[in-house]
Amino acid sequence: MLEIGAIVEGKVTGLTNFGAFVALPDGTSGMVHISEVSSSYVKDIKDFLSEGQEVKVKVIGINEAGKISLSIKKANEKEEPAEPPRRQQAPRRRSGNPNVWQGQPQAPSQDSMSFEDMMARFKQVSDEKMTDLKRAGDSKHGGYSRRGRNNNN
């Protein structure tokens, strides 16, 4: 049984425009997303991989349905010491301008988030920003539009 973090040898069984499927030694198969093929930009995966090619991959995720996410670039990274913990930044002072984005608390790293989690987080942050912009605009305009209103009082 494969575990997250395991590095194994596999054989490329198929290429798509978004990644490559790799047969693993235990009889299962996984997918290497195009963003996990190389540390450099990959426009066409066929420039980096071909069917039947033996590759070293790192298991970076296994979802509830048993789909295995793999990374070639992480399998080929040199073992680096763990990063020292980052120092907490002092809270930002709020400016008087409500249109200035003040930042968001740090979210979990993208490596530990599934695609669905990243999309949900993106949507949440986007909705929050749109709400903030709408509030800022409403406060400047009294909460309603004055256009087209007949001012014959």
Above 90 in pLDDT, residue 151?
no
CATH code of the domain in which 22 resides: 2.40.50.140
Residue 80's nearest CA partner among 42, 49, 48, 39 is: 39
Strand stretches in 24-112, DSSP E = 29-33, 54-62, 68-71
Residue 82 included in any domain:
no
Residue 20 included in any domain:
yes
| Contacts of 103-109 spanning 24+ positions with Cβ under 8 A | 104/128
State which residues form the domain around 126: 112-140
Give the pTM.
Answer: 0.50
Domains held by the chain: number = 2
Alpha-carbon distance of 13 to 147, in angstroms, equals 62
- pLDDT tens profile 39-91: 888 889 999 999 999 999 999 998 888 899 999 999 987 654 444 455 555 55
- pLDDT tens profile 90-99: 555 555 555 5
Domain C-terminal end among 53, 75, 97 = 75
**If you average pLDDT over residues 118-134, what whole number do you get?**
86
